[in-house]
Structures are given as C-alpha cells and as structure tokens.
A and B are shown apart, each in its own frame.
Chain A
C-alpha cells in the first residue's frame, strides 16, 4: 500500500511569508502527527490530529496551526515565517493507538531566507 506522502519536498520562503504543508497518511490511518526536526533540537512535537480533531499539541507558538480533513489528509500552516522556522517538517501517520508506532513521510524541507 502507498506510504505517507508529503508535499512539497522542498520549499524556500522569505521571512514574513506564510506556508502550507500537506500530508496524506496511509490509507485507513486516522491519526496524523507533525514534528519539526532541526539539528540542534531533534524532533519536536507540533500537534496530532485524529478524526479531524486536534488531540495533542506541542509547545509551539500560535503561528503554527494545522487541520485534518474528512479523508484524514492533513495540512499544517506557518504564518509570519521566521529564520528559525527553517527545518525538516515530518508527518507521521498511525492507526491511532499508542502501540501502533508511526509511519513517517519523507518530510518537507523548509528554508526561510
């Protein structure tokens, strides 16, 4: 079956702009989690959506937001981009239970200039 698809793979934006990243989970998976990965901070949890509802949220400012659609596809949005937002953004899907483990997408590499 198809894996987790993230689009786009690479993105270059200017400070102050906004960006929307997309994630299509594995068919049948209802949970989508987003992580920010940077060399200094490792993987930082952004939020998790399950059946269109935000179930968990990390410690990121309100500029970071997300949503999930009825087909389980998810988007995350970052407004008013800052240089420090440059990172690899990873989407992970699961069946929704703790013991499932995640299936990750290849990520979107965002560069803010």
Chain B
C-alpha cells in the first residue's frame, strides 16, 4: 500500500521569504512522486514530478523538490515566494503500473505581503 503525509496543513510566510512544504511517503515499491497546486475554485495543476534520475526536479515558476529515498521525503521548496504563490499544494505518490494516485491532505501556503 502507498500513502502520503503532509504534516503542515497551513504555512504562512512573508513575501520574498523562502518556504519549504514537507511531504513524506510510504510505499513498498519504487515510486513516482508529484506536486500539484490548486488555486481557489480551480482544479489541481501539475507543478513538478519525480520519475527517475536526478533527485532534484524543478518547475517553471521557481519551485523545486528533492527526492530523498533514505528519508522517504519529497519536500517542495522555493527560495523567494510571491503573493501569487498563495494556494493549496498537494503531494502525491504512484507506485507505478496502473496503480491509483494517492494524494496527501494538502498544505495551504499563505503568502503575507
């Protein structure tokens, strides 16, 4: 079975400050890992994904996440946040094949001007 834990339900941070959103996963096999972002009244959008290879993956809007197998983590980071980054962020795991994608409970990032 696979599972995802996002310990922080809300993270307030001042504009231009760095942020880290934590994600830990559990799976008995190798995994694919994803981060999605949801803006108010919208569906989720794929932010970035780890499939294999380099453990550091980046998105086009400055976010990055690092796959750490020993700590079973896939934390999302941004060195300097903007007001427009205010949204809910979901970590997700898939164990490959035709398995369903399991989502974490989400972390609401609130950027304070």
Residues of A bordering B, CB below 8 Å:
4, 6, 33, 35, 41-43, 45, 48, 50, 55-56, 58, 90, 92, 96, 98-99, 101-107
Contact = CB atoms under 8 A, between A and B. Distances in A.
Interface string B85-102: 000001000111111111
A82 to B, nearest CB: 22
Contacts of B32: 98-99
Interface stretch (B18-26, B44-52, B63-71): B44-52
Nearest to A90: B43
Contacts of A45: 100-102
Interface in B1-40: 32, 34, 36
23 contacts: A6-B43, A33-B101, A41-B105, A42-B103, A42-B104, A55-B98, A56-B100, A90-B43, A90-B44, A98-B32, A98-B94, A98-B96, A98-B97, A98-B98, A98-B99, A99-B32, A99-B51, A102-B44, A103-B46, A104-B43, A104-B45, A105-B43, A106-B43
Which 6 interchain pairs have the tightest Cβ spacing?
A104-B43, A42-B105, A43-B103, A104-B44, A101-B46, A56-B100
Given A98-B98, A101-B34, A102-B46, A42 B41 contact: no
Tell me whether chain B's interface is mostly helix, strand or loop, or mixed: loop
Contacts of A43: 90, 103, 106
A101 B80 CA distance: 26
Contacts of B103: 35, 42-43
B61 interface: no
Nearest to B41: A106
Nearest to B47: A101
